Amino acid sequence: MFRQLREDIQCVKERDPAATSAAEILFLYPGLRAVRMYRRAHWCHLHNLHFMARWISQRAVRKTGIEIHPGATIGKRFFIDHGTGVVIGETTEIGDDVTLYQGVTLGGTGKDVGKRHPTVGNGVMVGAGAKVLGPVKIGDNAKIAAGSVVLHDIPPNSTAVGTPARVVKLDGVRVDSLDQIHIPDPVAQEIERLENMIKALADTINK
């Protein structure tokens, strides 16, 4: 338990430049507090103490503004930055070293049954306000840009942008795992490609 807590505090130090001390992170960071309360609620959920599990999770919502269903499965070094408005559904599965920003929803579509929430791989970053809906899979080290809406699977080592989200390949170069802003716009890239094509055709005709 203490080893896990140390890992959680260390991952906040590494990913949040505003963090100044372990004490500040432990007592003042709502993301860490929500994760700690989730782990207690998840233990109760696994031991069929469902009422207690939901009581703990709803108490966490009131205290942090972050809602994590006790049935969700979350890996190591999970970091929620700021956190207000984050919602994580019951059948969500999250790998290790994942970062979520405020306003993120890992939710259902309302039409799926059974496994109805996302599966998020290791090292994934989901930007502020992004929505990942349904039993989709987000591959390892993928990046979801702020404000995106993901409705389909996202492959590993890729970046998804827009509504609905489209995959942008970055020539095999990984973007900074904490950069949710400087992400290419696939629509702008396509417009630029078409403009270059038109210019090349015009140059050919004018020769």
pLDDT of residue 145: 92
pLDDT of residue 176: 52
DSSP-assigned states of every residue in the chain: -HHHHHHHHHHHHHH-TT---HHHHHHH-HHHHHHHHHHHHHHHHHTT-HHHHHHHHHHHHHHHS-EE-TT-EE-SS-EESS-TT-EE-TT-EE-SS-EE-TT-EEE--SS--SS-S-EE-TT-EE-TT-EEESS-EE-TT-EE-TT-EE-S-B-TT-EEETTTTEEE--TTPPPPTT-SSS---HHHHHHHHHHHHHHHHHHHHH-
Q: Which residue has the tokens 């290790």?
A: 96
Tokens of 141: 């080290």
pLDDT per residue as tens digits for the range 118-155 = 999 999 999 999 999 999 999 999 999 999 999 999 99
pLDDT of residue 178: 53
What are the residue ranges spanned by the domains of the chain? Answer: 2-206
pLDDT of residue 173: 57
pLDDT of residue 84: 94
Is the Cβ–Cβ distance between 53 and 70 less than 8 Å?
A: yes
- Domain boundaries 2-206, corresponding CATH code: 2.160.10.10
pLDDT of residue 174: 54
Residue segments in the chain with a per-residue pLDDT below the cut of 50: none
Tokens of 49: 């103490």
pLDDT of residue 20: 87
pLDDT of residue 193: 84
pLDDT of residue 58: 97
